[in-house]
Structure 1
Amino acid sequence: MAEAEDHESEQDIKARKEREKDELYALDISGVEWHSAPGAEAHEERVEIAYLPAGAVAMRSSVEPETVLRYTEAEWRAFVLGARDGEFDLEPSPQNGGVGAE
């Protein structure tokens, strides 16, 4: 059996990811519980997240709650791990090539 048969083709992966996104955005999330960072005041602008089935996550801004982004478990995991690793830091740090890396 050829090795290519054991793995999804790029086209199959793209189609699967599109199906996952379509299913994710088809979910009724009207009753989800939204969470924000501890200590955030109700009147402050903040990011809110809601946990969805299968490890997916919805994200919105408190000032524009009708705009909701949804992420699969794999996308959310990649984001969280990147954030922990400093990929989204506002100022360069030693971990991402900043001045202290010398």
Structure 2
Amino acid sequence: MSGKIIPIEGSLTIECVGELQELLRNELGQCGATTVTFDLTEVTDIDGAGLQLLLAFAKALEKVNAQLRLQHAPEKIQQVLAKYGVANRFLQGELA
């Protein structure tokens, strides 16, 4: 299984997702990996727009037979994922 790790920093909020969306679109076009891992160690906040971005990227990866994994998600991020019932949407082995 091939994989790629992408560090995400700062806020995953409506103010920042446009720029991140463009980066991720570029990554999707050239990654060729079966697993893409977002390292969320440096993520400080997430809102609905950030959550939608994660879900959209996961769906786009599924279309090319790949999966999105989240790793090192801060407790705050894990709580948001659980609150909206999407924590199981991402591979659980690397969440914390």
Structure 1 length as normaliser, TM-score?
Answer: 0.28
The higher relative CO (CA closer than 8 Å, separation ≥ 6) is in: 2
Structure with larger Rg: 1
Q: Which has the higher helix share?
A: 2
Q: Which has the higher strand share?
A: 2
